[in-house]
Amino acid sequence: MTDLFKSELLRFRLWTAAAALVHAGLLGFLTRLVDLAQQPLQVYQIFGISYAVIGTLLGLYQMGSYRRPNQWLSLLHRPLHRLRIAGALGGAAAALLLAAIALPIALVALYQDTLTARVVDLRHWLLPLSAWLVGLVGYAAGSYAMVANRRHSFAVVVLPVLLMFTQASGLALLAVELTLLAALAGLLALVFRPDPVAMPRSFAAAAATALPVQAGAYFLIWMLGFGVEMGWTIAGTHPLNMPVPPTGGYIEADRAEGKEILLLGLAGSRDPEAALWREQIALSDVVTRYPLRGLPKRGELGNVAPMEFDDGERHLRWVFSHDRMRFTGYGTRDGRAHGELGVGDNLAAFPAPTLQYAGGYLFNANAAYQYDSGQQRIFERVRLPQGEVMASPPEPAGDNLLALSDRAAYFYPGREASNGVDLLQPLLRVPMPGAVGNLSRVDMIELLDGYLVSFTYTWGAWSGALQHPFQQVVRVDGNGQVREVARRTLNLDLPVAYTTRIWWLSPVLRTLCLGAQELYAGRDPLRADPQPVPRAMVWLALVSCGLSLLGALWLAARLQLSRRQRWLWVVLCGAVGLPALASLWLMVPPRETLPVAPTAHPQPATA
Amino acid sequence: MPNDSIIETRALSKRYGCKLALDRLDLAIPRGRVHAIVGANGAGKSTLFRILLGFMPPSAGEARILGKDSQQLTPQDRARIGFVNEEHTLPGWMRVSQVVAMQRHQYGRWNQQVFDGVIGHYHVLPEQKVGQLSRGERAGFNLALALAQKPELLVLDEPTLGLDVVAKRAFLESLLYSNAADDCTVIYCSHQMEEIERVADNLIILERGQLRHMSAPEEFTARVSHWVADVPFKGPDPRTVPGLLEVQRLDGLHHYLVLDQDHAFEQFLRASGARTVQSMPVSLDRAVNAFLAKHHAAPAAA
């Protein structure tokens, strides 16, 4: 095993050295331009995709070179257990990816930590490990795709896509990466044998190898749905591509200007003041807020947004350190360290990772802060009630400030906000009528004694996660009394069978996907759970599963399956639905029927 | 199944789609000696080896190698079976000495003397990279590695394919003069009849996945006879010629290659109008080629 391991190291040593040099050079160049530790999530995702692709290419090439019949025979026909051979190849690939991917990142982190005043937290030291795991996940997927039966093995590439959608962060993300790697390594171990294209003998192993095929088929069928949208677009009937969106629908609500959405909300109001408000809307400035979709989490490997802000007057940059839970400063001109900033005069630690919002306030999940350049201090200005999290940091709304939590809208006194540094007390609290995860916008105008506020819930309508979009308009008077003045149900615009196809195609796989997405992740208060689908869609799912079951009954009888396996497949297809039927068709070869009589030879050739 | 055969198949079939690569093959190869397996392309030789080494499941029937079910081979069993294929697949990025060291670690019965003895037939240096070896040198190196493993069974699957005359001779000599080859059973698969004539003790002919013949090569040659007859006009209808493998008309004379015919065939030719009849022996190459060509697929009009 060690010999094979060394042999593979020898084989790829030059390529690895070249890749490591190019990688280190690229990171070194970039780190001279920007702080790589403070990039937005998309930058880390691009790097992560690159590492996954590098790992995949290595797996495809390495296994592809062995997968031709004679090479495969030479590789496996030796006095070593097949898994030790796989371990030698995989171990060598892991060492090579460590050198090409993780080592350059660690070197750049070391450079930043020791030779610059930039912040390097523990989470940054975990980045090489995470990148390495991502590369290994790609390698395992590429290897499996090349070794297993290529009729269906390339479906495995859908599994690493989980890393793009996982809600886990920090150590939990590493756990997800490890879990995914273990699953892919397990799949590879199942097929890494002399006859890798044959179906595993046990049903459990067959079901395990069927999972990526089903996930791939599920994803593919779901994607084919976009063909329907293309058809609507070509026909000119797609609601999203019409010059004027359908009346009363969620698309109209999403696209409406501030004044329009308030007028649309009030259209059905029987409130005696409604006519007056319509006139006021036409004359007022409408404030529109869009809630945040995510908050920074302590120890996360990436950043929702760069965790830093600049003090232009003093030429300082303050970077939030997750380890110290304070801002660490350095000069933008001289690059020298410039101390720390906490909350208030005693520089207390922030309760959660804090970053700057567009409006100038710093915020975290619990509170909002203001930086005073003159005093070089950060003061807490807004604190949300216990149990609520920030959905939109404070911003001016007329004379006052408006902030959103996951449960309510808060108005704070604008004058006090401008003239002091004390903690502000809310003037008004307006409870939200729905889950903030479905809230797409909040619109408001200032009245003489209060506000007219519109909450529009359409987030998730397109993806089928929201079944009941609506708009509510409330009147808040100066005493904080909240009164609903209008409420309307919004249309989904697209057929429900289309938007919810991700569910009815396979409720089991949908549940599995959501579970994988939430694996090891804490609950995100800014996300809403998918709403139950209409009863008609439940029937559609049952019909789909029933058709799959009947199809499996017909198909399984014609495939190389034992009686027990046949019935297990039928049950699986009935439970999982059409993607399982697709996997059955792709994975199990047809039953072989040998002729009972000796074969007849053709007429002999004569000279 | 009894265990006195090193390879034994019973009603072994393998189907690719609607085509049978092996058709209820019954084969028992005894231990010891050199056994040559010949057959046209598509006769099922490679399929047979893949099944025997456990790299492909049979569609039906049984296959045993070294007395074990071929689908249940353990790493220890594999150590007892050497395999050399026509591509001589070796890690081209490694040096000869590194490959030797790797094999020595993996094979407990490694015999350095055997390796040195075989590789001595070639000008291969330990520090050379495998990728830099000529095709002939790679073949010799591969053979040396396989023999030094001291296998009980050595399968050589068209090992001289693509080699020039000199390299072929070097390969055969290194095989024939190695004592290690005497201690194991050798399965030699080749299309080169002069090689088979030289090395094989036993000739196995496969055709369309079926065993057509198994005997010593000279016995097979003895079954095929070449008759030259001076027959006026067209001669007898080929369909009426007993045991006919091949007929040609050259310089006005009819040349018949026939199977399992004795002197009665001369009477047949004379009865068909032959004025003179002459019989002569045939080479193994010609006999096997005629035997295999007889059943080769041909257009209906042929």
B253: domain CATH number?
3.30.70
What does the alpha-carbon distance between residue A177 and residue A159 come to, in Å, rounded to a whole number?
A: 11
- Tell how far CA A586 is from the center of its chain: 29
Residues 19-38 of B with CB under 8 A from A: 20, 23-24
Interchain contact, A195 vs B55, CB within 8 Å: yes
| pLDDT at residue B272, as a whole number | 83
Dihedral of CA B269/B274/B275/B280: which sign?
A: negative
| pLDDT at residue A607, as a whole number | 29
Q: How confident is the model at residue A602 (pLDDT cuts 50, 70, 90)?
A: very low
Interchain contact, B57 vs A195, CB within 8 Å: yes
Question: What is the nearest CA distance from B264 to chain A, expressed in angstroms?
Answer: 22
CA nearest to B295 within chain A: A604
Q: Do B173 and B248 belong to one domain? A: no
Q: What percent of chain A has pLDDT over 90?
A: 88
Q: Report if residue B300 sits inside a domain.
A: no
Q: Report if residue B180 sits inside a domain.
A: yes
Q: How confident is the model at residue A201 (pLDDT cuts 50, 70, 90)?
A: confident
| pLDDT at residue B299, as a whole number | 53
What does DSSP assign to residue A286?
P
Phi-psi region of A227 (alpha: psi -120 to 50; beta: other; left: phi over 0): alpha
> Is the model's pLDDT at B301 over the cut of 50?
no
The whole domain housing B108 covers 5-215
| pLDDT at residue A605, as a whole number | 34
Interchain contact, A73 vs B50, CB within 8 Å: yes
CATH no. for residue B197?
3.40.50.300
Largest CA distance in chain B: 71
Picking from B54, B89, B108, the nearest residue to A71 by CB comes out as B89
Average pLDDT score over residue span B251-259 = 86
> Is the model's pLDDT at A44 over the cut of 80?
yes
| pLDDT at residue A594, as a whole number | 64
| pLDDT at residue B82, as a whole number | 93
Picking from B54, B83, B247, the nearest residue to A194 by CB comes out as B54
* Cα separation of the two ends of chain A: 56
**Tokens 């297993």 appear where?**
A148
Interchain contact, A77 vs B83, CB within 8 Å: yes
Whether the CB-CB separation of B59 and B15 falls below 8 Å is answered with yes
Interchain contact, B208 vs A599, CB within 8 Å: yes
What does the alpha-carbon distance between residue A274 and residue A262 come to, in Å, rounded to a whole number?
A: 11
Task: Give the residue from B165, B187, B215 where a domain finishes.
Answer: B215
What is the DSSP secondary-structure string of A108-165? HHHHHHHHSSS---HHHHTHHHHHHHHHHHHHHHHHHHHHS-TTTGGGGGGTTTHHHH
What does the alpha-carbon distance between residue A90 and residue A189 come to, in Å, rounded to a whole number?
A: 11
Question: What is the nearest CA distance from A8 to chain B, expressed in angstroms?
Answer: 9
| pLDDT at residue A549, as a whole number | 97
Q: Do B265 and B149 belong to one domain? A: no
Whether the CB-CB separation of A181 and A139 falls below 8 Å is answered with no
Q: How confident is the model at residue B43 (pLDDT cuts 50, 70, 90)?
A: confident
What does the alpha-carbon distance between residue B127 and residue B112 come to, in Å, rounded to a whole number?
A: 17
Interchain contact, B98 vs A604, CB within 8 Å: no
Q: Do B180 and B211 belong to one domain? A: yes
Interchain contact, B81 vs A598, CB within 8 Å: no
Q: What percent of chain B has pLDDT over 90?
A: 44
What does the alpha-carbon distance between residue A428 and residue A482 come to, in Å, rounded to a whole number?
A: 9
Q: Do B248 and B145 belong to one domain? A: no
Phi/psi for A18 (5° steps) reads -65, -45
Interchain contact, B297 vs A71, CB within 8 Å: no
Q: Do B57 and B74 belong to one domain? A: yes
Q: Do B200 and B262 belong to one domain? A: no
What does the alpha-carbon distance between residue A132 and residue A301 come to, in Å, rounded to a whole number?
A: 13
pLDDT tens readout for residues A112-136: 999 999 999 999 999 999 999 999 9
CA nearest to A4 within chain B: B102
| pLDDT at residue B1, as a whole number | 45
pLDDT tens readout for residues A57-86: 999 999 999 999 999 999 999 999 999 999
Report yes or no: A415 at the B interface, CB cutoff 8 Å. Answer: no
> Is the model's pLDDT at A101 over the cut of 60?
yes
Interchain contact, B81 vs A77, CB within 8 Å: yes
Interchain contact, B106 vs A607, CB within 8 Å: no
Q: Do B124 and B267 belong to one domain? A: no
> Is the model's pLDDT at B216 over the cut of 70?
yes
Question: What is the nearest CA distance from A215 to chain B, expressed in angstroms?
Answer: 28
SS (H, E, C) A71-92: HHHHHHCCCCCHHHHHHHHHHH
CA nearest to A82 within chain B: B75
What does the alpha-carbon distance between residue A516 and residue B123 come to, in Å, rounded to a whole number?
A: 59
- The pairs formed by A305-311 with CB atoms below 8 angstroms and a separation of 24 or more are A305/A40, A305/A355, A306/A35, A306/A38, A306/A39, A306/A40, A306/A355, A307/A38, A307/A353, A307/A354, A307/A355, A308/A35, A308/A38, A308/A355, A308/A356, A309/A355, A309/A356, A309/A362, A309/A371, A311/A371, A311/A373
What does the alpha-carbon distance between residue B253 and residue A450 come to, in Å, rounded to a whole number?
A: 121
**Could you tell me which residue, A442 or B236, shows the higher pLDDT?**
A442
Q: Do B192 and B244 belong to one domain? A: no
Residues 254-293 of B with CB under 8 A from A: 293
Whether the CB-CB separation of A486 and A265 falls below 8 Å is answered with yes
Q: Report if residue B163 sits inside a domain.
A: yes
Report yes or no: B253 at the A interface, CB cutoff 8 Å. Answer: no
Q: How confident is the model at residue B295 (pLDDT cuts 50, 70, 90)?
A: low
The count of structural domains within chain B is 2
Whether the CB-CB separation of A238 and A232 falls below 8 Å is answered with yes
Q: Do B178 and B268 belong to one domain? A: no
Average pLDDT score over residue span A139-147 = 98
Task: Give whichever of A219-233, A250-264, B187-201 has the largest mean pLDDT.
Answer: A250-264
Q: Do B211 and B234 belong to one domain? A: no
Question: What is the nearest CA distance from A153 to chain B, expressed in angstroms?
Answer: 19
Interchain contact, B57 vs A198, CB within 8 Å: yes
Question: What is the nearest CA distance from B104 to chain A, expressed in angstroms?
Answer: 10
Q: Do B199 and B248 belong to one domain? A: no
Beta-bridge partner residues of B16 = B19
pLDDT tens readout for residues A391-424: 999 999 988 999 999 999 999 999 999 888 899 9
> Is the model's pLDDT at B179 over the cut of 80?
no
CA nearest to A68 within chain B: B89
Residues 53-112 of B with CB under 8 A from A: 53-57, 59-60, 75-76, 78-79, 81, 83, 85-87, 89-91, 93-94, 98, 101-102, 105-108
Report yes or no: A324 at the B interface, CB cutoff 8 Å. Answer: no
**Tokens 């009888």 appear where?**
A557
State the count of interchain CB pairs (< 8 A) between A and B. 105
Whether the CB-CB separation of A315 and A332 falls below 8 Å is answered with yes
Chain B residues touching A81 at Cβ < 8 A: 75
Nearest to B159, CA basis, from A76, A194, A64, A70: A70
Task: Give the residue from B189, B215, B241 where a domain finishes.
Answer: B215
Q: Report if residue B263 sits inside a domain.
A: yes
Q: Report if residue B302 sits inside a domain.
A: no
| pLDDT at residue A506, as a whole number | 96
Task: Give the residue from B191, B215, B239 where a domain finishes.
Answer: B215
Task: Give whichever of A157-171, A586-600, B110-124 has the largest mean pLDDT.
Answer: A157-171
Picking from B59, B83, B248, the nearest residue to A73 by CB comes out as B83
Lowest-confidence pick of A297-306, A535-544, B38-47, B293-302:
B293-302
Report yes or no: A10 at the B interface, CB cutoff 8 Å. Answer: yes
| pLDDT at residue A4, as a whole number | 94
pLDDT tens readout for residues B101-153: 999 999 999 999 999 988 988 889 999 999 999 999 999 999 999 999 999 99
> Is the model's pLDDT at A243 over the cut of 70?
yes
Residues 192-231 of A with CB under 8 A from B: 194-195, 198
Nearest to A105, CA basis, from A77, A135, A85: A135
**Could you tell me which residue, B218 or A52, shows the higher pLDDT?**
A52
Q: Do B109 and B252 belong to one domain? A: no
> Is the model's pLDDT at B31 over the cut of 50?
yes
Picking from B76, B86, B297, the nearest residue to A79 by CB comes out as B76
CA nearest to B70 within chain A: A194
Mean pLDDT, chain B, integer: 87
Interchain contact, B78 vs A77, CB within 8 Å: yes
Mean pLDDT, chain A, integer: 93
Average pLDDT score over residue span A329-358 = 93
pLDDT tens readout for residues B59-90: 899 999 999 999 999 999 999 999 998 888 89
Q: How confident is the model at residue A359 (pLDDT cuts 50, 70, 90)?
A: low
Chain B residues touching A79 at Cβ < 8 A: 75-76, 78-79, 106-108
What is the DSSP secondary-structure string of A231-279? HHHHHT--GGGSSSPPTTBHHHHHH--HHHHHHHHHTT---TTHHHHHH
Q: How confident is the model at residue A1 (pLDDT cuts 50, 70, 90)?
A: confident
Q: Report if residue B299 sits inside a domain.
A: no
CA nearest to A606 within chain B: B246
